[in-house]
Amino acid sequence: MHNVIELAKQYKLRIFIPSTIGAFGPDSPRNPTPNVTVQRPRTIYGVSKVHAELLGEYYHHRFGLDFRCLRFPGVISSDPPGGGTTDYAVAVFHEGLLNKKYECYLEPTTRLPMIYIEDCLSALFQFLNTPNELLRRRVYNVTAMSFTPEELFSELLKYIPDLKITYKPDKRQHIERLIAINDVTSIGKSSDNIGRFAEVTSIITLGAIQSGGSGAGGRPAHCPRQAGHKFSTIAKHDGIGDGNTNMICRGWWS
């Protein structure tokens, strides 16, 4: 990473390094967790991400490098899970559809932030295409929605009624406590007029994931579409409720 950032400086390249909610630790404020705050992660994964964030910011302030970074929540898609703390939200589709049962490694009330892959990529695309002068910082939280295993499985049972769910928390439950956040700064706290509302992320996206793709028109049929709304300091909406669920589609970064 050091070599890549140094080469970007020498050849005047732009550079993006992905970060994660794992960059926060148990001392970070919760509900919501702001962009600039105490982090102090207690996992090597989180420590390495904070190192990347700070090194990139240093090169930006010292040498003018166009460094950008987004802290992603758990990303939900139809691709196989990688074994991370938030990956139960993907694994349940693969194992549930195949075996009609799933053993969750987190406690049922563990709330974590998530985002659907389409919104994740859209947020990244828009962030990278935002003019440099509009960015007030180099590292942003990305947010869409938060839910618990219990809430997710309750919705999934509407699609797979014979799905059997059991719980057996393992070491990943401990990691969740080290991360110690379940929501990040909402659009109402944003100071950058640079983003749009998440268009797709909703627990109703279950149908799209179950079928291995997206709903009609590239989005689930019941997810509210708010493509024209922009972030601003006077944003009055903390979220956009989906009338079919109690979940919320919120802004991408703030």
Q: Is 159 a catalytic residue?
A: no
Can you tell me which residue has the tokens 């970070």? 28
User: Please, are residues 166 and 104 in contact by the beta-carbon 8 Å criterion?
Assistant: yes
Which residue among the candidates 11, 45, 58, 159 is catalytic per the annotation? 45
Q: What distance in Å separates the CA atoms of residue 237 and residue 224, rounded to the nearest whole number?
A: 14
Cβ-based neighbour number of residue 132 at 10 Å: 11
Can you tell me which residue has the tokens 């956040």? 181
Output the six-digit token pair for 45: 């994964």
Q: What distance in Å separates the CA atoms of residue 55 and residue 57, rounded to the nearest whole number?
A: 5
In this structure, what DSSP letter does residue 42 have? S
Q: Which residues contact 143 (CB under 8 A, 6 or more apart)?
A: 32, 73, 113, 115, 183, 184, 185, 186, 198, 250, 251, 252, 253, 254
- How remote is the C-alpha of 111 from its chain's centroid? 13
Q: What distance in Å separates the CA atoms of residue 65 and residue 91, rounded to the nearest whole number?
A: 38
3-state secondary structure of 167: strand
Helix (H) or strand (E) holding 58: helix 44-63
Output the six-digit token pair for 30: 């919760």
Can you tell me which residue has the tokens 């080290």? 178
For the annotated catalytic residues, the residue numbers are 45
